[in-house]
Amino acid sequence: MDKATFVTTLVEQRGEWEALLARFDVETMRLSGAAGKWSVKDVVAHVAWSEHEMVPVMQSHVLSGSELWNVSEDERNEVVYQQNEARSLQEVVADEQKIYAQFLQAVQELSEEDFHDPRRFKYMPADWVPWQIFAGCSFKHYEDHMPSLQAWLVRRGPASSEE
């Protein structure tokens, strides 16, 4: 995928993500069950964590980040859940929007070569494709979670929708 297509896809998928989130009322966003025990708020915090981890990678061209990358996905997800459990919905949503803006800016500052050549990022394995890593932590991540959120919306019924 070239940079222009990546940016277009990111912006389009983000629009779909935000439109889906806008269909939930505040109370429903706080209720567990949207994705296993997670609430919609928890899913938003989870997505924000992944985007947040990629911003310094794109800015510094060094594959580094949280020690949580060294544990299993389930363990990492549980730690991120615990870190965000006591945060307010408003704080989580505002933080995620700020992080997305940083992510989008960092993507736009990358060169075309940065999207395809792992050698442009210190410590990135040679068999990784940078744009796929960035997509997995952004628009592919939205796609992963949208079906469960859409199903949660249907299960909750029209009372949870602002439509």
Residues 6+ apart with CB under 8 A from 154: none
Q: Does domain 3-8+24-157 have CATH number 3.40.50.920?
A: no
Give the C-alpha separation, 15 to 97, whole Å: 12
pTM of the entire structure?
0.92
Q: Which residues pair with 111 in a beta bridge?
A: none
Q: Mind listing the pLDDT tens digit of every residue in the chain (163 residues)?
A: 999 999 999 999 999 999 999 999 999 999 999 999 999 999 999 999 999 999 999 999 999 888 998 999 999 999 999 999 999 999 999 999 999 999 999 999 999 999 999 999 999 999 999 999 999 999 999 999 999 999 999 988 765 444 4
- Tally DSSP H helices, then E strands, for the chain: 8, 0
Residue-by-residue DSSP string for 4-20: HHHHHHHHHHHHHHHHH
Q: Which residues pair with 122 in a beta bridge?
A: 62
Q: How far is CA 5 from the centre of its chain?
A: 18
In the block, residue with structure tokens 């109370």: 27
The domain spans of the chain are: 3-8+24-157
Q: Which residues pair with 62 in a beta bridge?
A: 122
